[in-house]
Amino acid sequence: PVQIEMSNVDKRFGNNVTAVQGMSLQIREGEFVSFLGPSGCGKSTALKMISGLLSVSSGAISVNGHPAGQSIDGSDVGYVFQEATLMPWATVFDNVYLPLKLQGLSRKEAGPRVREALDMVGLAKFSASYPRQLSGGMKMRVSIARAMVTKPKLLLMDEPFAALDEMTRFKLNNDVLDLWKSQGLTVIFVTHSVFESVYLSSRVIVMAARPGRVVHDIPLPGGYPRT
Ligand code: ADP
Ligand code: ADP
């Protein structure tokens, strides 16, 4: 079934910048889609509109049958930013607990789910560590655990590994593929790396700048072994 539908979406900032123009797209449940394009082509803006972090200027977006950002339970969308954006004063556990805390769960109630999410990214043993004690790759995995702790159906990732070295990045790419396969997720992965988009996704949405728009929508059957 269709999970995300964008119909003729525009986003303007002020009078001069058209960050996204006429974007129409349907994404089915379970797809791994990448948004590929140069800096400034509107990839982040599109992702933020899908998550509801930004409103559309015109057009419409529906996610899981609700207008973007207005689902009954906002936790059905997980978002991973370019920087790990962890709270430096809080432990790994507390960083991952945050979304559940916002839902009103006590630390105790949330415990098993936080541990499960940390397990998923291989960091169960680092629950009591602070972000400064972790490598860049580990911090990024904590931020993926935080996005996954609410068990979202949709995971949005905005150039999540851009700041990491290539080896770490490659390892994390494989981690994300494992997560996608094991959790039955829909993933939208924003990147300006052709390699990353082709390696990871089963469909590449190519965007161009000024104005930001979709120029190709390329299915990649058989790119990566998929079951
Ligand atoms: P990408 O993620 O592809 O690099 P963005 O979505 O961040 O592109 O930006 C698309 C365009 O919109 C760029 O020209 C950018 O400068 C502009 N833009 C993004 N956010 C804002 C904002 N808050 N105010 C004004 N212009 C913005
Ligand atoms: P980087 O981004 O610096 O490459 P990695 O995620 O590759 O970070 O981890 C760097 C080091 O951190 C590893 O060599 C290992 O010593 C330690 N490390 C990372 N993940 C774990 C883990 N799950 N268990 C134990 N040690 C780990």
Q: Are 68 and 9 in contact (CB under 8 A)?
A: no
Of the bound ligands, which one is closest to the alpha carbon of residue 13? 1
Q: Token pair for residue 183?
A: 């959790």
pTM given for the model: 0.88
- Counting ligand 1 atoms within 8 A of each CB, the residue from 10, 11, 15, 17 with the most, and so the one to mutate, is 17
Answer whether the bond into residue 112 is a cis peptide, omega within 30°.
Answer: no
Q: List the residue whose alpha carbon is closest to atom 12 of ligand 1.
A: 19
Residues with CB under 6 A from ligand 2: 122-123, 125, 135-138, 164, 168
- Counting ligand 1 atoms within 8 A of each CB, the residue from 13, 48, 54, 82 with the most, and so the one to mutate, is 13
pLDDT at residue 204 in the model: 97
Q: How large a percentage of the chain has pLDDT more than 90? A: 83
- Counting ligand 1 atoms within 8 A of each CB, the residue from 45, 50, 51, 188 with the most, and so the one to mutate, is 45
pLDDT tens sequence across 15-28: 989 999 999 999 99
pLDDT tens sequence across 209-222: 999 999 999 998 75
Q: List the residue whose alpha carbon is closest to atom 5 of ligand 2.
A: 137
The overall average pLDDT reported for the chain is 92
Give the neighbor-by-neighbor strand order of the sheet with 32-36: 77-80, 154-158, 186-191, 32-36, 203-208, 213-219
CB atoms within 10 A of CB 23: 23
Q: Which H or E run includes 1?
A: none
CA distances from 83 to 23, 87, 162 (A): 26, 12, 9
Q: List the residue whose alpha carbon is closest to atom 25 of ligand 1.
A: 13
User: Residue 227 pLDDT > 50, yes or no?
Assistant: no
Q: Are 116 and 148 in contact (CB under 8 A)?
A: no
DSSP bridge pairs for 17: 13
